[in-house]
Amino acid sequence: MNLKIAVLSGDGIGPEVILQAKKALYAISVAYDHEFIFEDALIGATAIDKTRNPLPEQTLNLCLNTDAVLFGAIGNPKYDNNPDAKVRPEQGLLKLRKELGLYANIRPIKPFKNLLDASPIKREVIENVDFVIYRELTGGSYYGEKIVNEEGTFASDICEYSENEINRITHQAFKAAQSRRKKVTLVDKANVLETSRLWRKIVKKIALQYPDVMLECQYIDNVAMQIITDPKQFDIILTENLFGDILSDEACAIMGSIGLMASASIGNNNALFEPIHGSYPRAKGKNIANPIASILSAAMLLEHFGLEKEAKKVYEAVEKAIEYKVVTIDLNPGSRFGTNDVGDFISNVILSKDDLYFK
């Protein structure tokens, strides 16, 4: 298969971890005879520094004209500490999601067998956990009207959803459930929010078209607790933008490190793959960031294009790195392995050269 992939490494540790994902994809292309063409482009704080625009036109055009986008991380503390900054790195990612129509953000949570003790949650609670968060990505309070008064004493972020926006991700979530354990949990705050009541009404109606899938509706506050106390109950979690953002970081506690969680953002014509962690500015350039989330995002890219065998190979190579403890310090505090070593190991396993590594 020929794929043209836009690579938006972004800020902080983005370039280091994305380099490892590229190595893994390159290894796959060699091992399975595919051709992947990578093209780099600017986004985020790095793009602001060079062009004053967090999403330069050139980057957007590239993304619109490639098969997929591989995305690193975004953010720089110099903007976080300046509440008056008008241009922010995050705007680049938010605009890109909107322009590419990436309405479904898919975040799988399935702890690795050899990392069950890396989680602060008891082993018996997280063993066999396997669920996927379907987070709506182009609506809600992220995109509603934003108001700040002149005196800076009042602000508002409007949360809005239309039927169409709810429809499309709901169908994706139910279809995914059909090939899994056939359960969708809609997470909302329907006891308080109108938008949540709209979600419930529409999702219940769509559920009738999927009689083999069970729908359950739960409140966000309760689910925030259940994700920690009884995460095995979940199969597909379907939720709006902000709730999904929060729950997916929380779910990292099950995985043992935020450096392990990948995501796919899918639209009708475009797809973007990114680790869910941020730019981790303190680790930039230190070769200590965990590249596994980026490598698994590359695996999700392969899966998206129907390259199941190849995606599985990447996943297995990651499992092997974990089994052999070729991991970064977030997973093994005394580890002598850095970002590059983990990436090299994984691409060598893909090329079936892992035995060489230990010679």
Which of the choices ligand IPM, Mn ion, none does residue 93 contact, using the CB cut-off of 5 to 8 A by kind? ligand IPM
Chain positions contacting Mn ion, by CB under 5 A: 245
Say how far apart CA 246 and CA 135 lie, in whole Å: 10
**Of the candidates 40, 67, 90, 160, which one interacts with ligand IPM according to CB under 6 A?**
90
The one among 55, 74, 272, 349 contacting ligand IPM by CB under 6 A: 74
3-state class of 144 per DSSP? coil
The interface with ligand IPM within residues 269-328 (CB under 6 A) comprises 276
Map residue 77 onto helix, strand or coil. Answer: helix
Task: Output 278 or 338, the one with its CB closest to ligand IPM.
Answer: 278
Task: Determine the residue with CB nearest Mn ion.
Answer: 245
- Smallest separation (angstroms) from ligand IPM to the CB of 107: 8
Q: How many chain residues touch ligand IPM (CB under 6 A)? A: 6
Q: Which of 278, 258, 272, 276 is nearest to 301 (CA)?
A: 272
Tokens of 194: 């109108």
- Interatomic CA distance for residues 259 and 279, integer angstroms: 11
**Beta carbon of residue 75, minimum distance to ligand IPM (angstroms, whole number):** 6
> CB-wise, 245 or 344, nearer to Mn ion?
245
β-bridge mates for residue 157, sequence order: 146
Smallest gap, in angstroms, from Cβ of residue 279 to ligand IPM?
A: 8
Q: What positions carry a catalytic annotation? A: 142, 189, 221, 245, 249
Q: Which is nearer to Mn ion, 66 or 279 (CB)?
A: 279
Q: Is residue 157 part of the contact set for ligand IPM (CB under 6 A)?
A: no
Shortest distance, CB of residue 295 to ligand IPM, whole angstroms? 17
Q: Show the beta-strand stretches assigned E in the chain.
A: 2-10, 35-40, 68-73, 104-109, 131-136, 146-148, 155-157, 183-188, 214-219, 236-239, 262-266, 271-275
Per-residue buried b or exposed e for 316-337, using 16+ beta carbons within 10 Å of the residue's own CB: ebbbbbbeeebbbbbbeeebeb
93 or 115: whose CB is closer to ligand IPM? 93
- Which of Mn ion, ligand IPM, none sits in contact with 303, Cβ below 5 to 8 A by type? none
Q: Using CB positions, name the residue nearest to ligand IPM.
A: 90
Helix 14-32 and helix 339-350, axial crossing angle in degrees, nearest 10: 10
What residues between 222 and 251 interact with ligand IPM by CB under 6 A?
245
CB of 245 to ligand IPM, least distance (A): 4
Nearer to ligand IPM, 13 or 93 (CB): 93
Residue closer to ligand IPM by CB (options 245, 330) is 245
Instruction: Name the pairing type of β-strands 183-188 and 146-148.
Output: unpaired
What lies within 8 Å, CB to CB, of 172 at 6+ separation is 104, 134, 266
DSSP assignment string, 171-203:
HHHHHHHHTTT-EEEEEE-TTT-HHHHHHHHHH
Total residues found in the chain within this entry: 359
Closest approach, Cβ 58 to ligand IPM, in A, equals 21
99 lies in the site for ligand IPM, by CB under 6 A: no
Contact call for residue 93 and ligand IPM (CB under 6 A): yes
173 contact, one of Mn ion, ligand IPM, none, CB 5-8 Å limit per kind? none
Binding-site ranges for ligand IPM (CB under 6 A): 74-75, 90, 93, 245, 276
